Structure 1
């Protein structure tokens, strides 16, 4: 089952899709696409620091992404700049600092293109274990916090009135995004991970009528995108990571032809 590199890539990609689908729904509902880009760009800084300090790369990427999320929360409390301006500063600064640090690591050979665009075909059995172990933990935390996260997404004021602490929910969501970026970076790369978070969820929004069904549909569409992208990559000898994103885009464009009536669920979903 794990002997063939294509099988390993397919299994790993489906594992990532199962996590990015539900999590991506909150990215779409909360209009957090730019935040997702910022977190993804910070991953390269995490890679450089991990190599420099001889740390585990997944943990290093998570730590840097979590610090960037914390920095955003602190800067937002200063109320001197708009959120999109702060995200722009953090996004491009972390990417630039990461690239500069990579330039100083002359004694280590770094596949920069692999980190930027991913190399899912090089995934190992150990990577699959990290993806499924980490993914299961992320989904469990997401499930346990589903109600407060959803309530804070619909109306932070009402959530606070109900004692659900929307600010805590926001921090949990940021940390979950940092986690999924850390485990997915090797597969689809720092520049494409946001696409896998957003496109299947955006497609599912057109097809699902409830938050729960949207999360499930997004996961399934992400898995189809992975499978279709990998088979397309093998057939036409194209880059695997971008091929997965192109497949996700193709499914989204096809969904535009579907009537706006929801196919899954009976009631209108929450969120913006």
Structure 2
């Protein structure tokens, strides 16, 4: 029989998997991998500030992730060598975060848990917050789905239809920041982007429609959580990396059944 801590970890992972599918699909469609890295890596700076000022880890991480998301969105709108700029921001955010956290003695011992997650320590309060946040983000994505999709596929067509692509991009950025804040305890700042991108990339090879891709991505993310946690339990491997490793295996398998 599974222990309570494992059940809580499984439920937390499934909550994030539910929203990782549709959000990760937009990350893949918009080629926002570095965007996600920048926001996720900034989470470490949020952790340092939270511990230094005795704030909630989720609150501090969300604040810094939102700031980074808005900054990156503004830079993306300018469209000048964005791959380089985002690459610099992603790695710089992580570097500044690690430097900042070195000044907080209480955080040094738990550094690995912030980098790679510690899903097995998730409590009921964490679990409640994760599900509330995930359902809120999922609700926003469902509400704005058609507008987001149109703005992603063709910005000129979106503007002709009365849709503001910049607003949709900002909304997506805020959703990403919220998921990053929710994921810091579960999967860690270094692996958040992978959890968004890898299941969506695997689903892309199999899905005939955007909606099917989003649903398949959530399914793959959920299976990755379950199998990753089980393998971690039986093989005594880190839970977060195990989950992402399983997702990577699904990505490899997806090429075997790739649609022509």
TM-score, normalization by structure 1: 0.91
What's 2:154 paired with?
155
Distance 1:236 1:127 in 2: 26
What is the match of residue 232 of structure 1? 231
Alignment correspondent of 1:269:
none
1:68-105: per-residue Cα shift (whole Å, max 9, x none)? Answer: 122223344566x4112221222122211111111111
- Report the counterpart of residue 211 of structure 1 in structure 2: 210
Alpha-carbon distance in structure 2 between the residues aligned to 1:118 and 1:140? 25
Residue 170 (structure 2) pairs with residue 171 (structure 1): yes
Whether the aligned pair in 2 keeps the contact of 1:2 and 1:8 (CA below 8 Å) is no
What is residue 124 of structure 2 aligned with on the other side? Answer: 125
Unpaired runs of at least 5, structure 2: none
Counterparts of 1:218 and 1:108, CA distance in 2: 34
Q: Which residue of 2 aligns with 1:69?
A: 69
Q: Secondary structure at the match of 2:199?
A: helix
C-alpha deviation, 1:109, in angstroms: 5.2
2:52 corresponds in structure 1 to 52
Contact 2:48 2:107 in 1 (8 A): no
1:53 shift after superposition? 2.0
In the alignment, is the contact (CA less than 8 A) between 2:224 and 2:243 conserved in 1? yes
CA contact (8 A) 2:73 2:169 kept: no
The alignment status of 1:9 with 2:9, answered yes or no, reads yes
Size of the aligned set, in residue pairs, is 260
How far apart are 1:252 and its partner, in Å? 1.3
Cα distance in 2 for partners of 1:129, 1:107 equals 25
What root-mean-square deviation, in Å, do the aligned CA atoms of Structure 1 and Structure 2 show? Answer: 1.7
Does the Cα contact within 8 Å between 1:2 and 1:125 map onto a contact in 2?
no
Structure 1: gaps of 5 or more residues: 262-272
Aligned: 1:192 with 2:201: no
